[in-house]
Amino acid sequence: MSVVIIGAGHAGTTAAAALRKLDKDIKISLVSEEGSPPYQRPPLSKKTIFSVTQNYDLILGKDFYNKNNIQLNLNSAVEEINPIQSYVRLNSNKIIEYDQLIIATGSKGYKLNIPGSEIAQKLYSINDAQKLAKSIAKAKKVAVIGGGFIGCEIASGAQKQNKEVTLLEAGPSILGRSVAPIFAESVSKIHQSQGINILTNCNALSINARGIETASSFVPADLVVAGIGVTPNIELASKANLDIDNGILVNKLLQTSNENIFAIGDIANFPFQSDSGRLRLESIQNANEQAKIAAKNIIALRNNQKLQSYSPIPWFWSDQGDLKLQMVGVGKLNAKHHVLENQTAGTLTVLHFEDGQLVAIDTLNHGVNHICGRKLLSNKKPILLDDIERFKGDLKSLVKELN
């Protein structure tokens, strides 16, 4: 049996390792268009771009692939998937046949489309990070376009290096799409108190060597970085006529519209909670857990066994300067937010309730409440505000009672 995996990011690499763990004989080909052995992306914005050595962390040891008989093809972009004859064609024209295919092609950063945008640097790959590290070391004034997680990480890291930092966000608040408004506001205030100039409702109109023109002011900068979000790499799947809608559509078993082709990680748009609900996540938790389920399901398909569904409790983290943000669950804009009282100074915990039930928790510098949140959200019986109040916001005791 032969499995080909397209993309050696977190999802593809974890799937290869999980498959090998389940079956020592299966032929596994892991194909990456990048030249570096598979590496971790989160440290790029937290560590690599601020280090002189530009070190990066591998997902698995360098020897893992050889030792485990996984054929790692670097610098090898897949240019075609042929689902009828079950093969992929690489940029070298090499053909690799498969019995089962996993697409894990991840995302790429959105391109800024304003005059001078070629001046702005981006951050997705190790190559981007190594280039950016050199620029940050030289820069005095850094402007970051985009107040999402990665923009905030770059801005706060640069500020810690004593750069003069401006963060431009087009919406009314940083982290606007990801956390409770009250949580975003608190994080924003801390960043500002530490010296980051945050401009909200602020669109960059053009960029030149001296900085950024906005509708209301000119932001001086000798380095501009754009972190305006990512979009899934769907082109290959689309050409292979797989069903696409904000990523590759998969069922709960992570199969695409072709049952021999799985899609996992940032690229996969999967059914979530309700019959009609769907979600596409850009997170390590999602990439790793989907990879392990896809590997199990590939083996189960071969053995005519029951396949496993993916029904996650999503979680995510972001390190911003000295702040640790941890989010669990999926909050919606119309959720009701409840701030936990009596918390240790310097921490914050915000609970999201929908229809009276706990659906998500945002924590700042509070790992214990984050872990409790994961446990509460995986509890069979929904957690209500009354439950939280009964324990006066002590999530640890509530978790204990439920066990």
Ligand X SMILES: Cc1cc2nc3c(=O)[nH]c(=O)nc-3n(C[C@H](O)[C@H](O)[C@H](O)COP(=O)(O)OP(=O)(O)OC[C@H]3O[C@@H](n4cnc5c(N)ncnc54)[C@H](O)[C@@H]3O)c2cc1C
Binding site for ligand X (CB under 6 A): 6-12, 31-34, 41-42, 44-45, 77-78, 104-107, 123-124, 150, 233, 236, 265-267, 282-285, 287, 316-318
Q: Which is nearer to ligand X, 8 or 395 (CB)?
A: 8
- Dihedral sign for Cα 277, 278, 281, 284, please: positive
3-class state of residue 198 by DSSP:
strand
3-state helix, strand, coil in the chain (%, to 5): 30, 30, 40
Listed in order, strand segments (DSSP E) in 227-356 are 230-232, 248-249, 261-263, 268-271, 278-279, 315-320, 323-329, 336-339, 348-354
Q: Which is nearer to ligand X, 287 or 361 (CB)?
A: 287
Which residues neighbour 31 within 8 Å (Cβ) at sequence distance 6 or greater?
4, 5, 6, 7, 8, 73, 76, 78, 88, 90, 96
Shortest CB 44 distance to ligand X, Å:
4
Q: Which is nearer to ligand X, 35 or 356 (CB)?
A: 35
Shortest CB 295 distance to ligand X, Å:
14
Shortest CB 263 distance to ligand X, Å:
9
Shortest CB 110 distance to ligand X, Å:
12
Shortest CB 127 distance to ligand X, Å:
10
Which residues neighbour 223 within 8 Å (Cβ) at sequence distance 6 or greater?
121, 135, 136, 138, 139, 141, 142, 143
Q: Which is nearer to ligand X, 213 or 266 (CB)?
A: 266
The rounded Cα 63 to chain-centroid distance in angstroms is: 26
- Dihedral sign for Cα 34, 35, 37, 43, please: negative
Shortest CB 393 distance to ligand X, Å:
26
Q: Which is nearer to ligand X, 6 or 399 (CB)?
A: 6
Is there a contact between 6 and 104 (Cβ–Cβ < 8 Å)?
yes
Q: Which is nearer to ligand X, 50 or 316 (CB)?
A: 316
Pinpoint the alpha helices (H) of 23-76: 42-46, 64-67
Q: Which is nearer to ligand X, 116 or 229 (CB)?
A: 229
Shortest CB 150 distance to ligand X, Å:
5
